[in-house]
Structure 1
């Protein structure tokens, strides 16, 4: 048969079988009989394998060309594994039958190692098919024909069914194929007998399963060899250009548009080839190939025409047009199954699967791909999740120039949270953006660490800083600074705070296009501060300048703070100079004194001048923060959008931390628990008796939206009033700001509650329109701990002079022993708690001082341990109650002291409590206390405390100075 082509021969003779030796018939055939028959079969087959090895395989390895040698070596390896497995089966059976009177299913190695046999045969025939595809046997027969002449007679003995003139190619192909398939047929007969004999044994299911698997194996081999012959024929029909580019040993042709009519939408002359790993479009002398892992058959598109399939890939989209519905269905099924199998990493068993494996491939996948088409992603490598041909989910995108993005994608664009590295030009450093993204652009909250060590934390819109943000240059830089405020189109714009750490000054005010523009306040480290109007970073018009010694100048002054032009200078003692000032001299047109009714200089209006309160309304100071929260509410309060609006206060996903741990975003110290539905919590805790406790927990948590808002507001407050900004002339600004925070947080709480009820469907038409609860009363005590250090410092500075006078009065009065102090304060002797002490006159002076009204004194000293005005008032009331208890014990009856008695008693307690900055404490309570307490008991006691403070500060100090040697 020298003229017979191998492809034709395969179709006619490859699947023919050698008639197997029949097993003994009879229903009473035992397992031992089956084992004996299997032993003879394995013995015969092992001898056959030995002849194949010496006559075919060894000469084949000598004759193989370099390009096919690896395949032949692999085939040889699988052959010997199969040979060893056959001999192991033979030895096991031989040992069993020689030592046991009767065999059982457990003694048959083939049954219990069926998976091993199956895997070995699959690997052998897969490699054999690859040799067929690349025409390895043809090349081997031509390469060393003299070798085959030496073994021709031996080869003919294997081919007794054929003519003596059978070609070497056919001989090699048949000998390395047919004996193995005949042997598998013998295995099938063995299993059929085992099924009959084992019907009464518990191993029946094992035998049945093994028999089914070997049946599938024969089907697999037939299909694999058919695919191999079809693929071999294709390579012979194509030109060398296509074969060199596409021919791979383990690649199989699954469908050809010339066999099943179809053509791409680009033209009828094109050809479509579906392989088990790629889809190829041949267009004239060129072609395009698409990895099946990134091929989607879109049957949902409305644009698909009659008998058409829409094929989408990462960079291409086209239609396959079939001639009729049947061809369309076949192409769709084969495409989907080929894609599914390549995604699974293995072919079906058998090759086109079983009923349960015929499902369509998943729309979402994970793969690596390099973009080649023009666009923003050109030459970038994407490694991650895909959906319908576009990056979707988690992934990494890397460009050739060093740019790198790790994070979330949606429909082909960066969307969600992501980390982006951008190399700096001519520097070995990177800008690192840890941001939220929307449709490929930074949008939402982000943290950017620039290569020059600057850091920006704030909001973005379309890749530009927009809204509230903080830009800081560290202290180690040449020009350290920090800006906390609003941005527009990547420039400082609106209300913002600029700290020039090099100069030691702070600007608080308005900006435009990156420059100071509008009203502004400058506060210096030295204590000097001024308020002025700026135009494109230059001062214009008149302003107010306050010097270190509290002199107040109103008028024009230069950048170096020199008085220039008309102005008025007011001294702390009340004297006023008003006139025209120059750099060299001043022309004073008028000098006058401001006196109060007692004839003393009135200096309060001078030393306590307040700046900025009218120029910067609290409603307009931090609009960028409030707008983000409002947008979050309007978006429906969706948990996945919370970080984008409210900032990073939880850890990033595990996937990102694994991808690039060095880009990890700071997330605070809180552990991240299971996600809690805060909207449900709002509904459950809206009753007044549990509301304040719930809100306290929410505001303290960095995971709750209200807690995130308070954290951001606290950062803004500290940026304004801490450090250099701790200036007494800013107290009114700060006080109004804190109250506004409380009102806004309450407003947002009500908005979230409205949203929660709306989501649940419980919102009536008039719900939440009015509230009987006072939001300021509820929220203010909860947020004060966050801003108290800065606010308290402003109060202390504002009332510093008063407290100095008060402290001097305390020092003077503390020199007096208790009895003298009680007498000096004109406290009635019947109220003195001295008779409780059994002391001599010599002991009294030393010990009474530590015992007199001690419980009231210790109670009052707790005033500085809390920040809540309500709690401070509670302490004041308890102090009054302790005074009352002490007097009642002395008088041995209930006694409510009138104001004439209470005031000196309370003055005594205040004197001995020695509370520093008592004036600041009193004014903080008065300014921030609940208005509902005005006119009540708390108001009465606070007024009494104010009177005591005034007495110690002014009247006692001025009317009688206690000698230090008293």
Structure 2
């Protein structure tokens, strides 16, 4: 707000009320008409003899021109006042020339009182501004001939004008005294009008008008006093300070020369409190502090010298002490400074200056303002726009540097703290690095997404401004596409991680040191070749294992282009082995000196299906960075304000980032369920029973807003980064399946940690497990079935690749068996005839083939086919049990009594059902169930049935294998 708004209040207008004819006010009206006529004539003379000559005397110097602009503005205010006076005079004169009775509404100064007040206020505020900058002294120095001629005219306006009276004082008096006196005339006339009015609304309106004009009179007095006080200060200071500090609108509120106080020892010679700044002067220099960013702290913790009383003044970059020897003086300065700050923040001056009762509310400690940092420090030359608290950026804000860098986000105690987005221009490029990250005490800490200007994106954790912990670095440009998923330390790849070079079509799974492959590592290529080797600073050292696509295995030394060198052993898929020394001379190809063993022994499955990385990468040491973040979150007490720092967040991303790989584990989607920390902990306590716990965990793990759901999302991305695409290699199966089981264990551990925290906050103790299940058993029985769907596509692909050869034999055997009609197949499988369900069959006349083929044990067949409809090993075992029950039920119906199948009867019948069910990849299914089923099922019914299914699978393979061998023998014959 402008100073014009610091005016006396307004009153309600009479408006269009009807004129009561018994309220005649002829005498006050006539008096007002005479006063306005006299005042208008006075204004006309001032305009002609003072203003017009001065307006013709525009100076040539720059400072004089600036002051002259202010005088021209004062003239505009004067003209507006004069026009209003003329208008009032015309209205009154018109009324006097008619025979109509006068009433309050005929008084322009009443029913248009707001306008009168506003114009008078504007005039005197502008007049005071002109006084402050020594306008009248400059005006009297004018060399204009027109002005020189009219100097003596000023005598006409002043009765006490003498030869000793200065021209500047005369000008000052002429341009304010007649107008100030006229306000007093308005008050006298309105008082007379009030006396002739009867009690009622008209008299109340006039009473209010008198009060407002009286306030206007006091306001003018205050404005002029402030202007003279300020003008005296500028005269007492040197030109250097005046030129830099003197502003027309600025007013001096207090001076340490009048009310002694000093700022810090040897800090200041003089303290000046203005309506907009606090100024400290020492020698020939000074410091000014914008009052909007000044805080007064009465709690002085410094030990002052005996007899001194003080308080701190806090500004964005400096804090200093104001002290005095008088406690009352300290209280007055502290109070005045607080009130000046409050008025500066409100944009409105008090009237009277310090309020009606000399009291006012304390200025708020939290503010919103723009400030440019000037002292040395990380924010030097930066512009901060945002929230402040006790002199520090605190809350939401924006920092902008001149070089184009900016930071938008949360601040605390003067530093970036909380979520923030920082743009940093790249050198010699018209592009930016964009950091969307959590910050802690001015440094990146916690989860962040960084989109670098070179099309590289990092999504992961930071500490002290460097990548630290788990993270994903991906190059989205077409020049050299790569992706690293793994551990970081001090901004470098360190620990376990997966590197995918999309241009070369290979993936490295292993350990890193200082951005280099270092230690044990597995390399998987797009062609299916896989090898395990020791690395040192990206270079392969020592011997390794090379697994070729044709099931050949090489153990020894080899080069980066997979050429055999030195001593080694090559085992072929047909059982032959070649052991010796390998060389590769230019133009001569691969040469070997060694022993070839052609004993044609079957190659050991332990070699052709070798599993890599088991000893080299213990499962508990993989993805430690992910677990560490969640463990830290639990140890922090799961505070809601820190959740996103540990768990990831959701923000709008660029189109390029959205088109890239998964948006880490922070993508929230459009979920209806809102998870708050206190709600999560409360629900954990309420859902400790087995059924409610499973329901709760299912909901939590499906939600990317829940900590456990975010953990699962992170593990899913890590798993896919390792085993999808190029990583789908059968030699990694055991690594993958033990990893999934460990995920279940860790998620259960974190659930337990959250539950213990929730119970502690309620003052309760965790209940002991009554069913005797261990943590591992709970993880396998409760968590694993819930998380398995997230990993199933990649995991089952590994199982299929692992059993590719067996499943091929099995499928060929199924094709052969499908050619048999039901009776022939039952007979072929040696199923006892009294168990055949002949009533289900309709035979043809030749009785060689059933018209209704595959009708026998149909219910059991259809039940077994459901094996592929679920991913849960537990449900697969239940399906297997139901298949067994369906077989037994059919047999019982045939023999017309309850019949418990012995193993000799079960295996042929199950073989029949398996052959008719035609389940693809049955070997992969059986292996997955065996690996992931609950340990408690071992040795029980489920284990027995799974073993029986396994026997059928192997028997069908052997049937096909024998058939192949017979064909080879017949072919040789």
Q: Scaled by the length of structure 1, what TM-score is found?
A: 0.85
| 8 Å Cα contact 1:813/1:962 also seen in 2 | no
- Partners in 2 of 1:96 and 1:866 — Cα distance? 100
- Partners in 1 of 2:358 and 2:197 — Cα distance? 28
Partner of 1:255: 254
Q: Cα distance, 1:133 vs. partner?
A: 0.7
Please tell me whether residue 523 in structure 1 is matched to residue 524 in structure 2: yes
Mean alpha-carbon deviation: is it higher for 763-772 or for 719-728?
Answer: 763-772
Partner of 1:508: 509
- Partners in 2 of 1:650 and 1:185 — Cα distance? 65
Secondary structure class of the residue paired with 1:533 = strand
- Partners in 1 of 2:675 and 2:811 — Cα distance? 53
Matching residue within 953, 960, 963 for 2:957: 953
Partner of 1:137: 136
Partner of 2:12: none
Please tell me whether residue 586 in structure 1 is matched to residue 588 in structure 2: no
Please tell me whether residue 810 in structure 1 is matched to residue 814 in structure 2: yes
CA shift digits 1:292-349 (9 cap, x unpaired): 2222222234116332232232333322222311221121112122222222222223
Mean alpha-carbon deviation: is it higher for 196-205 or for 635-644?
Answer: 196-205
Secondary structure class of the residue paired with 1:143 = coil
Flag the 1:374–1:164 CA change in 2: closer, same or farther, 3 A.
closer
- Partners in 2 of 1:550 and 1:405 — Cα distance? 56
- Partners in 1 of 2:935 and 2:303 — Cα distance? 71
Please tell me whether residue 775 in structure 1 is matched to residue 766 in structure 2: no
Partner of 1:547: 548
Partner of 1:786: 790
| 8 Å Cα contact 1:262/1:320 also seen in 2 | yes
Flag the 1:94–1:522 CA change in 2: closer, same or farther, 3 A.
farther
- Partners in 1 of 2:91 and 2:792 — Cα distance? 86
- Partners in 2 of 1:505 and 1:315 — Cα distance? 54
Q: Cα distance, 1:873 vs. partner?
A: 2.7
CA shift digits 1:827-884 (9 cap, x unpaired): 5667666756889769997862376555544443333232222232333344445556
CA shift digits 1:145-179 (9 cap, x unpaired): 76567777986665457679865544443344344
Partner of 1:389: 391
- Partners in 2 of 1:793 and 1:664 — Cα distance? 23
Correspondence list, 1:921-936, <5 A: 921-936=925-940
| 8 Å Cα contact 2:25/2:103 also seen in 1 | no
Q: Cα distance, 1:476 vs. partner?
A: 0.3
Flag the 1:302–1:315 CA change in 2: closer, same or farther, 3 A.
same
CA shift digits 1:341-379 (9 cap, x unpaired): 222222223332356971222223222222222333332
Partner of 2:276: 277
Mean alpha-carbon deviation: is it higher for 859-868 or for 748-757?
Answer: 859-868
- Partners in 2 of 1:257 and 1:906 — Cα distance? 105
Q: Cα distance, 1:248 vs. partner?
A: 0.9
Partner of 1:849: 853
Q: Cα distance, 1:740 vs. partner?
A: 0.8
Gaps of 5+ in 2: 1-19, 60-64, 585-589, 654-662, 968-973
Q: Cα distance, 1:393 vs. partner?
A: 2.4
- Partners in 1 of 2:948 and 2:631 — Cα distance? 44
- Partners in 1 of 2:781 and 2:205 — Cα distance? 77
Flag the 1:269–1:873 CA change in 2: closer, same or farther, 3 A.
closer
Matching residue within 462, 473, 476 for 2:475: 473
| 8 Å Cα contact 2:436/2:448 also seen in 1 | yes
Flag the 1:625–1:152 CA change in 2: closer, same or farther, 3 A.
same
Correspondence list, 1:191-340, <5 A: 216-267=215-266, 270-303=269-302, 305=304, 306-340=308-342
Q: Cα distance, 1:752 vs. partner?
A: 1.4
| 8 Å Cα contact 2:664/2:713 also seen in 1 | no
Q: Cα distance, 1:928 vs. partner?
A: 0.8
Correspondence list, 1:178-193, <5 A: 178-185=177-184
Matching residue within 915, 918, 921 for 2:919: 915
| 8 Å Cα contact 1:680/1:756 also seen in 2 | yes
Partner of 2:376: 374
- Partners in 2 of 1:309 and 1:42 — Cα distance? 58
Flag the 1:150–1:343 CA change in 2: closer, same or farther, 3 A.
same
Partner of 1:670: 670
RMSD: 4.1
Flag the 1:665–1:311 CA change in 2: closer, same or farther, 3 A.
farther
| 8 Å Cα contact 1:31/1:104 also seen in 2 | no
Q: Cα distance, 1:924 vs. partner?
A: 0.9
Partner of 1:48: 39
- Partners in 2 of 1:205 and 1:953 — Cα distance? 112
- Partners in 1 of 2:126 and 2:504 — Cα distance? 78
Partner of 1:71: 70
- Partners in 2 of 1:35 and 1:959 — Cα distance? 134
Flag the 1:709–1:769 CA change in 2: closer, same or farther, 3 A.
farther
Flag the 1:365–1:268 CA change in 2: closer, same or farther, 3 A.
closer
Partner of 1:860: 864
Partner of 2:873: 869
Partner of 1:598: none
Partner of 2:758: 756
Mean alpha-carbon deviation: is it higher for 869-878 or for 900-909?
Answer: 900-909
Q: Cα distance, 1:260 vs. partner?
A: 1.0
| 8 Å Cα contact 1:650/1:668 also seen in 2 | no
- Partners in 1 of 2:932 and 2:203 — Cα distance? 87
| 8 Å Cα contact 2:937/2:943 also seen in 1 | yes
Q: Cα distance, 1:257 vs. partner?
A: 1.1
- Partners in 2 of 1:672 and 1:196 — Cα distance? 73
Secondary structure class of the residue paired with 1:384 = strand
Flag the 1:506–1:585 CA change in 2: closer, same or farther, 3 A.
same
Secondary structure class of the residue paired with 2:257 = coil
| 8 Å Cα contact 1:257/1:273 also seen in 2 | yes
Correspondence list, 1:412-561, <5 A: 412-474=414-476, 476-477=478-479, 479-561=480-562
| 8 Å Cα contact 1:31/1:197 also seen in 2 | no
- Partners in 2 of 1:43 and 1:381 — Cα distance? 59
Flag the 1:561–1:61 CA change in 2: closer, same or farther, 3 A.
same
Matching residue within 396, 399, 408 for 2:401: 399
Q: Cα distance, 1:462 vs. partner?
A: 1.9
Secondary structure class of the residue paired with 2:279 = strand
Aligned length: 918
| 8 Å Cα contact 1:217/1:350 also seen in 2 | no
- Partners in 2 of 1:888 and 1:209 — Cα distance? 109
Matching residue within 337, 340, 343 for 1:341: 343
| 8 Å Cα contact 1:304/1:310 also seen in 2 | no
Secondary structure class of the residue paired with 1:849 = coil
- Partners in 1 of 2:473 and 2:27 — Cα distance? 87
Partner of 2:173: 174
- Partners in 2 of 1:386 and 1:605 — Cα distance? 68
Flag the 1:556–1:241 CA change in 2: closer, same or farther, 3 A.
same
Flag the 1:836–1:784 CA change in 2: closer, same or farther, 3 A.
same
Q: Cα distance, 1:390 vs. partner?
A: 2.5
- Partners in 2 of 1:198 and 1:898 — Cα distance? 123
Secondary structure class of the residue paired with 1:267 = helix
Mean alpha-carbon deviation: is it higher for 793-802 or for 122-131?
Answer: 122-131
Secondary structure class of the residue paired with 2:669 = coil
Q: Cα distance, 1:192 vs. partner?
A: 7.5
Flag the 1:647–1:50 CA change in 2: closer, same or farther, 3 A.
farther
- Partners in 1 of 2:159 and 2:99 — Cα distance? 39
Secondary structure class of the residue paired with 1:926 = helix
Q: Scaled by the length of structure 2, what TM-score is found?
A: 0.84
Correspondence list, 1:676-825, <5 A: 676-677=676-677, 678-763=680-765, 774-825=778-829
Secondary structure class of the residue paired with 1:573 = coil
CA shift digits 1:800-846 (9 cap, x unpaired): 11111111122222333445444444556676667568897699978
